[in-house]
Structure 1
Amino acid sequence: MIQRVTSPALFPPPTYSHASVVEAGTKLAFLAGSVPLDADGKLVGEGDPVRQAEQALGNLGEQLRAVGSGFEHVVSTDVYVVSGDPAVLARVWEVVEASGLSLGPHSSTLLGVACLGYPGQLVEVTATAVVPE
């Protein structure tokens, strides 16, 4: 069971929770960073952080299915975007919201970073999810 918590003493987050609590004994999956590569290892959406976010989230969905979970069971994400522009980060966050992850809503951190692992990569998403029985 996932308990999603938003503290009334803090500024209300728009589409995420401040914390997610998971009961002891629950099976968790800690997923590697989902990247914007296709099944052949080719970068999708060169120069386009929105398209790369869509691909990374599609890949995250595949990772979740592989462990028997889904977006509704994600408790936490970190979303990395190669940009210092808040408007670019906001556009990527709109893709996260549209993916279904915010329906929980899960706990998340959105970060602007200088560089990611693959040439041309602009977006990466890590996640922790409950694997339902």
Structure 2
Amino acid sequence: MDPPELFAHPGYGRVATVSGDMKLVFIAGQTPTDENYKCVAVGDFAAQYLHIMKCLEIQLHAAGATWDDVTYRRIYVKEGNPDAPGWADQPLPQYGDKPIRPPSTAIGVTRLGHPDFLVEIDLMAVVPASRG
């Protein structure tokens, strides 16, 4: 939801509230790694992002959640070449069917867990107890 005193952001909602009988799901920062802990798509932000989103979708499903249950996301983006397109400038797919995305924070960092990682994302989701 967006408070009426503030404009509605097109990419995320400003506030999410949760009440009732539910299960909270916290998903740790997902990095662009393969099953051997090697970085996938070195140097390709979009490919790393898509790999991460696929992994997050698997984790949501394992917890009985969907993208529509996500109530918060945090995106860590490696800062680098100031002339390179920013992560928000790339035409990447949206996930979930909500007209307003969950509250979200993007944080520029100088380094992630491996020098080839360009992005890392963690999530919080809320699932009704009847589904969890």
Fold shared by both chains (TM-score > 0.5): yes
Gap regions ≥5 residues in structure 1: none
CA contact (8 A) 1:89 1:112 kept: no
Match for residue 94 of structure 2 among 95, 99, 106: 99
SS of 1:52 mapped into structure 2: helix
What 5-or-longer segments of structure 2 have no aligned partner? none
**Structure 2 CA distance for partners of 1:101 and 1:80, relative to 1, 3 Å:** farther
Cα distance in 2 for residues equivalent to 1:113 and 1:101: 26
Alpha-carbon deviation of 1:52? 0.7
Structure number with bigger Rg: 2
TM-score by length of 1: 0.83
1:120 is matched with 116
Q: Which one-letter code corresponds to 1:99 in the other structure?
A: Q
Change in Cα spacing, 1:81 to 1:21, as seen in structure 2 (3 Å) is: same
Are the counterparts in 2 of residues 89 and 110 from structure 1 also a CA contact under 8 Å?
A: no
Distance 2:112 2:20 in 1: 34
Task: Report the CA distance between 1:101 and its aligned residue.
Answer: 4.1
- Which structure carries more relative contact order (alpha carbon 8 Å, separation 6+)? 2
- 1:1-133 alignment, distance < 5 Å: 5-83=1-79, 85=82, 87-91=85-89, 94-95=91-92, 98-101=93-96, 103=98, 104-132=100-128, 133=131
User: Are the counterparts in 2 of residues 77 and 126 from structure 1 also a CA contact under 8 Å?
Assistant: yes
Letter in 2 for 1:113: V
Q: Secondary structure at the match of 2:112?
A: coil
1:81 CA displacement: 0.7
SS in 2 for 1:47: coil
Aligned residue type for 2:86: V
Matched AA of 2:36: D
Aligned residue pairs, count: 126
Measured at CA, do residues 64 and 49 of structure 1 come closer, stay the same or move farther in structure 2, by a change above 3 Å?
A: same
Q: Identity, % of aligned pairs?
A: 33
For residues 48 and 109 of structure 2, the distance between their equivalents in structure 1, rounded to whole angstroms, comes to 15
TM-score w.r.t. the length of structure 2 is: 0.84
